[in-house]
Amino acid sequence: MIISQDKKLVVGLEIGTNKVVTLVGEILIDEKIKIIGFGTCVSKGIDKGKINNLDAIITCIQESINQAEKMADCHITSVYLSLSNEYINCQNEIGIVPLTDEVTQEDLENAIHIAKSVQILNEHHILHVIPQEYSIDQQSGIKNPLGLSGIRMQVTVHLITCHKNTIKNIVKAVEKCDLQVDQVIFSGLASSKAVLTEEECKLGVCMIDIGGGTIDFNIYIDGAIQHSQVIPYAGNIVTSDIAYAFRTSHHDAEIIKIKYGSAIKSSLGSSKNIDFSNINNNFTDTLQQDALIEVIESRYVELLSLIKDSILNMQKQLYQRGKKYELLSGIVLTGGGSNITCLTECAEKIFHKKVRLAKPLHLSGLIENIIEPHYATAAGLLHYAKECYINADEKKRDNSFIDRVFKKINDWIQTEF
C-alpha cells in the first residue's frame, strides 16, 4: 500500500531480467484501475529470476520506486511483487470433506486446506492455491458451492510453488529498500490477469509471456487454470544466437533483432542486404536479411515447440479423465520477447490455432507507454492487488456488520436483564 488519505492505491513491482518496473494504480469507484505513476530501470544483478548481485538489484529497485513516487506524488511503503524462475512448479490436487447439510465457508476452507496439505517438492513454498472446481456427491463442475446441500464435497485446486530461497532472496532485495512485500505473485498469473478475457479462459486458452530471461505460460480450460510452467530461456537467448552467429555484441544484436528481425521469412522470397556498419563499427560487412531471420526463426520455433508439447501432454491427461481439453480461444502472446515481426504467424504454424498478440487491458490514466506487451506482468500485478484490496474490504465490512449485530444483542440483553 501507499501512504494516502483520500485514495485507494496499490503498487506492482516487477523485477525482470531486462527491466525493473514499478506501477502505481488508483482503484476508482467503478473498481477500474487508473495508472498515476510508473518507474523503469534497466536490470542489473538478476538473471532469469535469480539474484547474482544483491547490491546492484537493490539500486535498480530503488531507482524504479523513486521515479514512480515522484510521478504519483506519494510515498510507497509496500508492493505486490512478481516472481518467475525455473524453480516454479505446479500440481493439481484434491480435497474432500463430509457435509452435515449446506456447504458453509468453513467447509470450503477445510476442503482447500486438505487439498494443499500434500507433499510438494523439497524446499518449496506454496505461492498460490487456486480452486478449479467443486463437486458435491455426483454433481461436478460447480464453481461456487456455498449454500448447496449434499453428503460429501470435493474440491480440485491448482498449486503453484517455488523454491524457498529464491523467494527469500528477492523479498530480501525489496525489503532492503525499506519496502514491505504484500504478496509474491507468479509472473505468469499476473500477466494472465492483465491480458486475458473471462470468455477466453472459459473457452480454453494458453497465455504465453515471453520475457527476456524466462517464458511463463498458463493454460486455462473451462474458466479454470490447469497448468503453469516456466521455461528458463526467452528473448535473450535469441539475441545471444544473433550475437554468436554474426560476431557482434549482445547490445548490438538486440538492436539488429528489433530493427531487422522477423520470426518467419517473407513469402515473397526476396531478401535484402543489411548494412550493419552504422550499428557496429567493427562489423562493416553486409549480409542478407534471410540469414538473420533464419537464426531468429529456428530459436523461436524451438521455444514454442516446447510449449506445444506441454499443451498436448496436459490435453491428454484431461482427456483420460473425461474433462474438457480444447483451446478454442487459441494462443495469446505477450511480454517484451513477443515484439518480433511475424511472431503470431510463426506461432500459428506451430500450434495450428489462432494466435493474438496481447496488451494490458482495463487500465486508464497514464497509459500511453504502459499499454504494451512488455508491461503485461506489471499491469497484472495491479489487477491482482485490486482483487485482494476489494476482498479485504468486503471481509472488513462483513466483520463490521457482525460486530454491530452482536453489540445490539448485547445492548438488548443488558436492557432486559
Q: Say yes or no to pLDDT of 317 above 50.
A: yes
Greatest Cα pair distance in the chain: 98
Nearest to 143 by CA among 235, 222, 199, 44: 222
Q: What is the pLDDT of residue 396?
A: 56
Sheet holding 124-136, edge to edge: 89-98, 152-163, 124-136, 139-142
Q: What is the pLDDT of residue 273?
A: 73
Cα 144 from Cα 147, distance rounded (Å): 9
Instruction: Count CA atoms closer than 13 A to 401's CA, side-chain side.
Output: 6
Task: Give 388: exposed, middle or buried? Use CB within 10 Å, 0-12, 13-18, 19+.
Answer: middle
Q: What is the pLDDT of residues 260-274, one digit of tens each?
A: 889 998 765 556 777
339, 238 Cβ separation under 8 angstroms? no
76, 89 Cβ separation under 8 angstroms? no
Q: Tell which wins on pLDDT, 285 or 203.
A: 203
Lowest mean pLDDT among 181-190, 289-298, 376-385: 289-298
Q: Tell which wins on pLDDT, 279 or 245.
A: 245
**Residue 48 corresponds to which amino acid?**
K
Q: Which three cell numbers stand for residue 315?
A: 490435453
Cα 171 from Cα 167, distance rounded (Å): 6
Angle made by CA atoms 84, 89, 94, in degrees to the nearest 5: 135
Q: Say yes or no to pLDDT of 412 above 60.
A: no
Q: What domains lie within the chain, and their CATH numbers?
A: 89-163 (3.30.1490.110), 197-357 (3.30.420.40)
Question: Please, what sign has the CA dihedral across residues 308, 313, 314, 316?
Answer: positive
Cα 333 from Cα 357, distance rounded (Å): 5
Whether pTM > 0.85 for this model: the answer is yes
Q: What is the pLDDT of residue 29?
A: 85
Q: Tell which wins on pLDDT, 397 or 30.
A: 30
Q: Which residue has the cell 465490512?
A: 397
Q: Say yes or no to pLDDT of 169 above 50.
A: yes
**Phi, psi at residue 74, to the nearest 5°?**
-150, 170
Q: Say yes or no to pLDDT of 1 above 50.
A: no
Q: What is the pLDDT of residues 332-370, one digit of tens each?
A: 999 999 999 999 999 999 999 999 999 999 999 988 889
Q: Say yes or no to pLDDT of 400 above 80.
A: no
**Residues of the chain above pLDDT 70, percent:** 88
Residue 101 binned pLDDT confidence (cut-offs 50, 70, 90): confident
Q: Which three cell numbers stand for residue 378?
A: 506489471
Cα 390 from Cα 222, distance rounded (Å): 25
**Phi, psi at residue 72, to the nearest 5°?**
-85, -10
C-alpha distance from residue 192 to each of 1, 177, 182, 290, 388 (Å): 22, 28, 20, 34, 16
Q: What is the pLDDT of residue 138?
A: 86
Task: Give 297: exposed, middle or buried? Use CB within 10 Å, 0-12, 13-18, 19+.
Answer: buried
85, 39 Cβ separation under 8 angstroms? no
**Residue 71 corresponds to which amino acid?**
M
Nearest to 221 by CA among 80, 111, 324: 324
Cα 124 from Cα 255, distance rounded (Å): 38
Cα 376 from Cα 217, distance rounded (Å): 13
Question: Across the chain, what does the average pLDDT equal?
Answer: 89
Q: Say yes or no to pLDDT of 3 above 50.
A: no
